[in-house]
Structure 1
Amino acid sequence: MTTIQAPRTPAVTRRRGVNWEKWGWIYMRASGVLLVVLIFGHLFVNLWVGDGIKAIDFAFVGGKLSDPFWKVWDTLLLWLALIHGANGMRTLVNDYATKRLTNGILKWALLLATVILIVLGTLVIYTFDPCPAGADPSLVASFCPVAN
């Protein structure tokens, strides 16, 4: 005789511990909302304020990255976008990479690429110096004291 489970019995028993899929889902929604604000703020300042796109040059970027507010803004944008994208790619890997080994390799490659890009991007944001000491005056921007 076959036994049929009660209609409200879960098909899969819940494991104990942190539900990473739930937190990944929540992260995607929260970071998506925050990214919309960050991206449109970034586009507004870069494209519409002042002279618009004609004003974007080395001096504009150097001035922007010398302001702590914009460093934090760009860091948030970088981190949230990369982690948001990596989490989306992880979902695709889970959906389409059915072999356990392939799935693991792709997820590790995704993690490695994300960590490398976050580290390099953060280093650029916080170590950018538009006026490096000892640089050839003909190569630095006109607003640097070396160029004068």
Structure 2
Amino acid sequence: MATDTLAAPRSPRSDIRKKGPNLEKWGWIYMRVSGVLLIVLIFGHLFVNLMLGEGIHGIDFAFVAGKFASPFWQWWDVLMLWLAFIHGANGMRTIVNDYVTGPKVRAALVWAIWVAAALLILLGTLVVFTFDPCIPNLSDGSVLVEVCAAQ
């Protein structure tokens, strides 16, 4: 009678562990913390935009201009933007590391993910902090005409 036993699980090799911070551990912690913060930020964003005031019918260019005139809402949206893009890029990096077997292809894809995330974070941050509602041609019926005329 043969004894069927399971092989011992592989133990980590201490000779391949890099010195320095454990980036996988910090990435794992970031995903949990940013996920909780994103839930608060996103539901706060949705509540203010959709439930208060006129709801979805009140969202127009003037509404966005009014929100972006406040430093509180600028930082709220930028924090949401940064957390969401880094959270998403880190998740994509994890998927690439799990499923792409070629080291060169994996490195290229991870690099492309982080470059795309950094570019979108930069562009989004610039939009939020440099937003000027007085640049477009405004019709006479807009509330912003009076605000922009006063500047």
Aligned equivalent of 1:3: none
Residues 91-106 of structure 1: pairs in structure 2 closer than 5 A: 91-106=94-109
Identity of counterpart residues, as a percentage? 58
Q: Distance in 1 between matches of 2:96 and 2:29?
A: 19
Q: Could you state the TM-score of these two structures normalised by the residue count of structure 2?
A: 0.84
Aligned equivalent of 1:23: 26
How much has 1:141 moved relative to structure 2?
4.2
**Considering only aligned residues, what root-mean-square deviation do their CA atoms show, in Å?**
2.3
How much has 1:138 moved relative to structure 2?
4.0
Q: Aligned residues, how many?
A: 140
Asked whether the equivalents of residues 65 and 71 of structure 1 are also in contact (C-alpha less than 8 Å), the reply is: yes
Q: Could you state the TM-score of these two structures normalised by the residue count of structure 1?
A: 0.86
How much has 1:118 moved relative to structure 2?
0.3
What letter is aligned with 1:28?
A: M
Residues 57-136 of structure 1: pairs in structure 2 closer than 5 A: 57-132=60-135, 136=137
How much has 1:16 moved relative to structure 2?
1.8
| Structure 2: gaps (5+ residues) | 1-7
Q: Distance in 2 between matches of 1:67 and 1:40?
A: 19
- 1:130–1:63 Cα change, 3 Å: same
Asked whether the equivalents of residues 86 and 110 of structure 1 are also in contact (C-alpha less than 8 Å), the reply is: yes
How much has 1:12 moved relative to structure 2?
2.3
